[in-house]
Amino acid sequence: MTEMTSTERVMTVLRRGEPDRLPHFEWIIDQKVRHALCPGASTEEFTVRMGLDAMLTAPDFNTVQIAPRRFKNEWGIVVEKGEEQHSTVVQTVIQTLEDFEAYQAPDAFAPHRFASLKKLVTRYKGKYALGVHLNDVLSIPRNLMGFQELMMAFCTEPELVAKLVKMSVDLNIQLAGEAARHGADFVFTGDDYASCQAPFMSPATFRELLYPGLQRVVKGFHDHGMPVIKHTDGNIMPLMEMLLEVGFDCLDPIDPLGGMDLAFMKRTFGGAFALKGNVNCATTLVNGTAEEVVRETLGVIQAAAAGGGLIVSSSNSIHSSVSPLNYLAMLSTIKAYGRYPIKLDFDASGAGEAFS
């Protein structure tokens, strides 16, 4: 098969096709891991030097530092930066319908909104798949209210939840249109729906309050010409019928901690979704041996690579506790065994010795 560009490779997989080789990219690669493997490298430089397949960005929302490690963003939310690259919400802005009515969401069309995307398009369009992190129906309401308060509102203030979901959907469809206009190739949404045990709400509540907005926002992304990778941790099996109906192009990460089984997902839903994942970043990539990493990575390939439609990655992200050598072992295994036609009867005996 002719060598594909990274853009062609990722987009082929998102159409559930078979590329020249398995693509790989991560939502987050922590600075500690990046710098251990490529000293001083930014995420962009690391992607190029390590041969990953996607450049990822997000809308640019201005922030103002208000205390050590604390920042207030354009949403009015205060976040705190910890050891990991993502931030934690520590102060919210909406608790009541009156708060919502007085609230003004950020402008999707602000001139600075996609400055980061524009730079990536100038440098890498057509070479790397360009993904933009947007939201669908849960993360923005959660950040504006707080998780516990939002969960309570599902029972006590469904009208407020419905208004928050509509605001999130409307804004993200606008953002998707701008991202597409500026050259993005795909959307990924990170709104988690579940814990390791079960979804955060009953399927009936999900269908009533979240599903209509989810249908509309995914259709909006598709109307702007962009496939959608849906990230959600946890056990999402009780929601699978609705996720199928909505029409996501790819599911990530088929969370092993949530009891999700990649081989079952491939057999059962491989015709409907591409799959992304799912080498365990809570255990194997943190404290496993290199050989264990190789074996688990080969297991992911064996479970879901046949016929295409697979992006091999961690089960969430390459966070600060991931062993840099274990990440390198996973990446090297993908490159060594991930070219189509893929040999499925791997023998991983001793395969990790070079990384020990």
Query: Domains of the chain (ranges plus CATH)?
Result: 6-62+94-355 (3.20.20.210)
313 three-class SS: strand
| Unique residue bearing structure tokens 């500690």 | 32
pLDDT at 230 over 70: yes
- pLDDT cut 90: percent of the chain above it: 93
pLDDT at 289 over 70: yes
What's the average model confidence in pLDDT over 41-69? 97
Q: Name the helix (H) or strand (E) containing 176.
A: helix 158-182
Predicted confidence at residue 84, as pLDDT, reads 76
pLDDT digits (tens, 9 = 90+) for 197-208: 999 999 999 999
Q: Give the integer Cα–Cα distance in Å for 245 and 243.
A: 5
Q: Report residue 21 CA to chain centroid gap.
A: 21
What's the average model confidence in pLDDT over 55-77? 97
pTM equals 0.95
pLDDT at 352 over 60: no
Predicted confidence at residue 83, as pLDDT, reads 75
DSSP secondary structure code for residue 7 in this structure: H
Predicted confidence at residue 1, as pLDDT, reads 72
Q: Please report the DSSP string for 12-79 in residue order.
A: HHHTT---SB-----S-B-HHHHHHHSTT--HHHHHHHHT-SEEEE-----EEEEETTEEEETTS-EE
List residues bridging with 128 in a β-sheet. 125
Higher pLDDT, residue 351 or 189: 189
pLDDT at 324 over 70: yes
Structure tokens at 129: 């798949």
Q: How confident is the model at residue 350 (pLDDT cuts 50, 70, 90)?
A: low
Predicted confidence at residue 40, as pLDDT, reads 97
What are the DSSP E strand ranges found in 61-163?
Answer: 63-67, 70-73, 78-81, 87-91, 129-134
Q: Give the integer Cα–Cα distance in Å for 126 and 316.
A: 26
Helix pair 324-337, 290-304: axis angle to 10 deg: 40
CA neighbor of 179 nearest in space, from 210, 135, 214: 135
Summary mean pLDDT of the chain: 95
Q: Give the integer Cα–Cα distance in Å for 350 and 69.
A: 45
Q: Are 41 and 85 in contact (CB under 8 A)?
A: no
pLDDT digits (tens, 9 = 90+) for 78-108: 999 887 777 899 999 999 999 999 999 999 9
Predicted confidence at residue 191, as pLDDT, reads 95
Q: How confident is the model at residue 272 (pLDDT cuts 50, 70, 90)?
A: very high
- CA angle 229/282/356 to nearest 5° reads 110
Residue type, 170: D
Q: How confident is the model at residue 2 (pLDDT cuts 50, 70, 90)?
A: confident
Predicted confidence at residue 265, as pLDDT, reads 98
